[in-house]
Chain A
Amino acid sequence: MTNPNPPSGSPDKEPATEAQAAQNTLGNTERAESATTPTQPAPDRKPSLGQLFLDNLWAANTFTVTLLSLVLAAIVGAVLMIISDPDVLATYSYITARPSDAINSSWTLVSEAYGNLFKGSVFDPDAVGFQAAMSPISETLTYTAPLVFTGLSVALAFRGGLFNIGAQGQATMGVILAALAGFLLPLPPGLHLLVAVLAGALGGAIWGFIPGILKARTGAHEVINTIMLNYIAVYFLTWLILQRGVQDPNRTDAISRPVDASAQLPRLFGDNLRAHAGILLAILATWAVAWLLNRSTLGFELRAVGANPDAARTAGISVTRTYVLIMVFAGVLAGLGGSNMVLGTTASALTPLVVAQIGFDGILVALLGRVKPWGVALAALLFGALQAGGNRMQSYSGISLELVTVLQALIVIFIAAPALVKAIFQLRAARAARLQTSLAKGW
């Protein structure tokens, strides 16, 4: 908890008293983790495992807060569903006379919607046969893969003290180069796929390099620059699609030629299920990032710079070089996420909306995953499931897919403010407090 810029008389106040630090379980997060495990006074007698479990169950630890955030988000989502349904709302006008009507109709509406969310993402009990049973999982994995990449991109930059809002733009450049390599280069199968995937990574790397070098050389804030680069990438994409050689010659609207079959990621569970090899790449990437962060020299330097750039510089780490590398790596990851969108099964040609929201969702995923690689992968799985289930909810219950966006945003809001969740549910303070996901900093 060192103050990064003491001479300026900065307003960053350290918690003055121990009491405040204790009362605020959102004490220290990443720092605590990179430091040693919190020293605990030697207990007089060893509590049993079961006792420990019960103690921690209702404490403000990561797991409980995450779970309760999901619950809170689901409750708000249910309220939104009810107040936007005129039929159900009508039953509330006579709630004092017949409360059962209001409760029953609300329950039917909400349980059906969330039921479909579950059936569309995890398991449908009515499904018959292997294919139908696997279909929800396959959908979930399809939506998960790109989110893992963009989530890792944001998380990696976070650990280095940079806020990469540009995953969206980096993914856009990734999607562009991956698609171009996919339909312009005449290469044999296998090699073609490899080149296309790497092209996507290159696109992201270029788009990450720009804010990185600007930050290192001129101090220009990466948040501003990455936001701006997001939009530049989108406009570049919409322009590029309409160019000759790129646009599908048989179409007049904004769509490019399709990617060659030789450059497409193979499907995992047969031709009728959409899950593709992107999810394997995602797992590989998660492992690689975990290794990079925790086992490599670069990862150590990165975390040191993220924790305190001044101290890192004093220790002889080149902060500027690290900033550039962080952004390039973040760009590579986001670019890979982008290539997933066009080489996988979600789309096979460029359209203005081909990247969807994966970059912005990646920010949420990174926060939900507590900016740790495997946490990010799990968070991406949850978001992928919400997306997949949301599709079914939309078609079966008529609940707009936008509800998923609301749920995702709410989950992250609650995660980001553990003190709020703790207050609502009267949680005990956790033993090892490492809940804060936020890295408060200015422009």
Chain B
Amino acid sequence: MSTMAVPEVAVAPVDEGFWTRTRKAGAVLLALGLLGAVLFGTLATDQQARFTLSEDAAGAALEVNGTLGAILFGVVTIAAGAGVLAGLPKRWFTLVLGVGLVAFVLSFLCWQVSAAPAGQNFMPLVNIIRGTFILALPLIFGALAGVLCERSGVVNVAIEGQLLMGAFSGALFGSISGNVWVGLVAAAVGGAFISLLLAVFAIRYLVDQVVMGIVLNLLAVGVTGFLYERLMQTDAQRYNSAPRFSNWEIPLLSDIPVLGPALFRGNIFLYLGLLLVLVIHIALFRTRWGLRTRSVGEHPTAADTLGVRVLGVRYRNVLLAGLVAGIGGASYTLALYSFTKNMIGGKGFIALAALIFGRWSPTGALLAALFFGFADQLATYLGAINSVIPSQFLAMLPYLATILAVAGLVGKVRAPAADGKPYIKG
């Protein structure tokens, strides 16, 4: 059909010269380190910056003098940058880059925590970690839905709509039945409903997948908003009071210091999300289904020649994606809040960013989602200590990071080759 693939040929052949990608990364790291050591070091106060291993100021803590810490970690970043610039062996690159970036964040935190109003010079690590995971949860589910879809060659911009529909139908049917498990199943089906529309229109009717995704998002906002006003607002008791999953403590694991209380006393969605990352990772790279999915996403013609039912695989994967995203939506309404209009509020698009930033792999998506969740949690924390950093700029971070990633500044980001291209057997 008149597919209009705009191939990446618009790329001017980059003459890399001296500034290879590695060297650029090193230079950026060096600059960040200088920023940390000089600026954060000057702005930090002599207060002790305490990182407590609990939920409040009490208990054991890692302490460091604010100024000293900011400068010290800044210097670590400088060292990492210098190392990269000087030409470390390739296999250490990722590690050194990671250390450099973490040290930069720590330098920043030393400044912020030490400059907080008196009596608030502490950062409760348990809260921060727990918050990071809670905020990352919808992103993890959403990004996994994206992985399932896009690895089989269907662009999923409708993550937002799938999450929203999942949250809505989880709340609605959970409330009507009074049973969380019914709610959970309904949420998955709700997400799959949006997926079904995406699949039918993208695969059967060859509608542009990005267009369809955008339109489905609007449809989901409209339908849930409409039914919310008609049903849930008029009779919240009956339609919008879903039971919630309680927290489950995992024996033994929940006794680990810091991580135990932060992670292993959570609700079913946290465990399910992490488990799904593992399952999908293994399934994608170690099973027959995974191989087929990837081949359909990379080169459907070849897969078809070998007898893989291309469209069948795509239908199945898109529907699976809907189930996963629907459960992600339920992680709001069956655990935390009651349903409100447009409650996903753009998380679906951050999930899309996490998918791209994580280079279309489940584990990459998990890490990206955690990074974005951390940025989100940090914004809350900085707001609480009256930081000079506006929370809006932290909120921009995921989006900026993604732009930098696709622009090729953080490494090569490449989508599955047939992503978004309809397959017509011919």
Q: Which residue of B lies closest to A5 (CB)?
A: B7
In chain A, residues 1-45, which have Cβ atoms closer than 8 Å to a Cβ of chain B?
1, 4-5, 8-16, 24, 26-29, 31
A417 x B208 contact (CB < 8 A): no
Residue of B10, B209, B214, B349 most packed against chain A (CB within 10 A): B10
Q: Across the interface, do A416 and B301 meet the contact criterion of CB distance under 8 Å?
A: no
Per-residue CB contact flags for chain A residues 69-94 toward chain B (1 = under 8 Å, else 0) read: 00000000000100011000000000
Q: What's the dominant secondary structure at chain A's contact region? A: helix
Contact A239/B10 with A218-B408, A400-B225, A442-B415 known, Cβ cut-off 8 Å: no
Is there a chain B Cβ closer than 8 Å to A112's Cβ? no
- The digit string for A411-441, where 1 denotes a CB below 8 A from any CB of B, is 0110011011000000000000000111111
Judge if A127 is at the interface, Cβ distance under 8 Å: no
Do residues B402 and A416 form an inter-chain contact, with CB atoms below 8 A?
no
Kindly state whether residue B417 has any CB partner on chain A within 8 Å. Answer: yes
Q: Is the CB of B356 within 8 A of A224?
A: yes
B1-A5 in contact (CB<8A): no
Query: When the two chains form the complex, which single residue of B211, B346, B406 contacts A224, counting CB atoms closer than 8 Å?
Result: B406
Given contacts A214-B403, A224-B356, contact A26 B7 (CB under 8 A): no
| A227-B349 CB under 8 A given contacts A402-B229, A441-B6 | yes
Scoring B205, B302, B356 by chain A CB atoms within 10 A of each residue's CB, the highest score goes to: B205
Contact B10 A4 (CB under 8 A): no
Contact between A228 and B229, CB atoms less than 8 A apart: no
Contact B1 A24 (CB under 8 A): yes
Known: A11-B423, A417-B205, A442-B419. A228 touches B402 (CB 8 A): yes
A364 touches B218 (CB 8 A): yes
- Using A363-B214, A416-B207, A416-B208 as known contacts, say yes or no to A10 and B2 having CB atoms under 8 A apart: no
Interface residue count on the B side (C-beta < 8 Å): 74
- Count A interface residues, CB 8 Å: 81
Set of chain A residues within 8 Å of B117, measured between Cβ atoms: none
Which residues in window 217-253 of A have CB below 8 A to B?
217-221, 223-225, 227-229, 231-232, 235-236, 238-239
User: Which of B1, B208, B222, B421 sits near A15, CB closer than 8 Å?
Assistant: B1
Minimal beta-carbon separation of B419 from chain A (angstroms): 5
B4 an interface residue at 8 Å Cβ cutoff?
yes
What A residues does B211 contact at CB under 8 A?
163, 363, 367, 416, 437-438
Interface residues of B in 392-426 (CB under 8 A from A): 392-393, 395-396, 399-400, 402-403, 406-408, 415, 417-426
Q: Is the CB of B222 within 8 A of A402?
A: yes
Q: Which of A13, A225, A231, A441 contacts B425 (CB 8 A)?
A: A13
Check B5 against A4 for contact (C-beta < 8 Å).
yes
CA distance A313 to B210 in the complex (A): 26
Q: Does B256 contact A (CB under 8 A)?
A: no
Instruction: Check B231 for interface membership: any CB of A closer than 8 A.
Output: yes
Task: Report whether B210 and A165 are in contact in the complex, using a CB–CB cutoff of 8 Å.
Answer: yes
**Interface: A161 (CB within 8 A):** yes
Q: Do A406 and B223 touch (CB < 8 A)?
A: yes
Set of chain B residues within 8 Å of A12, measured between Cβ atoms: 1, 3, 5, 421
Q: Can you offer 19 A-B residue contacts whose CB atoms are under 8 A?
A: A4-B5, A11-B301, A12-B1, A12-B421, A27-B2, A221-B406, A224-B403, A225-B406, A231-B349, A231-B399, A235-B392, A400-B225, A402-B341, A409-B218, A413-B216, A440-B209, A441-B6, A442-B5, A442-B418
Counting from the closest, the 10 A-B pairs by CB-CB distance are A442-B420, A405-B222, A402-B225, A438-B208, A406-B222, A219-B11, A84-B230, A409-B219, A239-B392, A400-B229
Other A-B contacts than A80-B227, A227-B157, A236-B392, 9 sampled, CB-CB below 8 A, are: A12-B5, A219-B8, A235-B392, A402-B221, A410-B219, A420-B201, A438-B211, A440-B207, A442-B419
